[in-house]
Amino acid sequence: MSRLQIAAGNWKMNKNLEEGVALATALVEANPSSDQLVILATPFIHLQAVGAVIKDVPHFKLAAQNCHQAEKGAYTGEISVEMLKSIGVEYVIIGHSERREYFKEDNALLAQKIDAVLAGGLIPIFCCGESLTIREAGTHVDFVANQLKESIFHLSDADFSKLVIAYEPIWAIGTGVTASPAQAQDMQAALRQLIAKQYSQEIADGTSILYGGSVKPANCNDLFSQADVDGGLVGGASLKAEDFTTIIKAL
Show which residues are catalytic: 96, 168
Between 241-249 and 17-30, two packed helices, what is the crossing angle to 10 degrees?
Answer: 40
Minimum distance from CB of 80 to ligand PEP (Å)?
Answer: 23
Select 28 or 170, whichever has its Cβ closest to ligand PEP: 170
Residue 172 CB, nearest approach to ligand PEP (Å):
6
Q: Which residues of the shown chain bind ligand PEP in the complex (CB under 6 A)?
A: 10, 12, 168, 173-174, 212-215, 233-237
Residue 10 is classified by DSSP as: E
Q: Identify the helix (H) or strand (E) that includes residue 150.
A: helix 140-151
Scanning 152-180, the segments in alpha helix (DSSP H) are: 157-160
| Shortest distance (Å) from residue 235 CB to ligand PEP | 2
Which CB, 188 or 214, lies closer to ligand PEP? Answer: 214
Q: Measured between alpha carbons, how far is residue 248 from residues 60, 140, 192, 237 in Å?
A: 11, 28, 23, 11
- Cβ proximity of 137 and 175 under 8 Å: no
Task: Classify 5 as helix, strand or coil.
Answer: coil
Q: How far is CA 114 from CA 18, 109, 186, 206, in A?
A: 31, 9, 25, 19
Pick 7 or 47: Cβ nearer ligand PEP: 7
Shortest distance (Å) from residue 7 CB to ligand PEP: 11
47 vs 220, beta carbon nearer ligand PEP: 220
Region of residue 176 (phi > 0: left; psi between -120 and 50: alpha; otherwise: beta): left
Nearer to ligand PEP by Cβ, of 65 and 80: the residue is 65
Q: Which residue is nearest to ligand PEP (CB)?
A: 235
Distance of closest approach, residue 94 Cβ to ligand PEP, in angstroms: 12
At position 218, the amino acid (one-letter code) is: A
> At 234, phi and psi to the nearest 5?
-120, 125
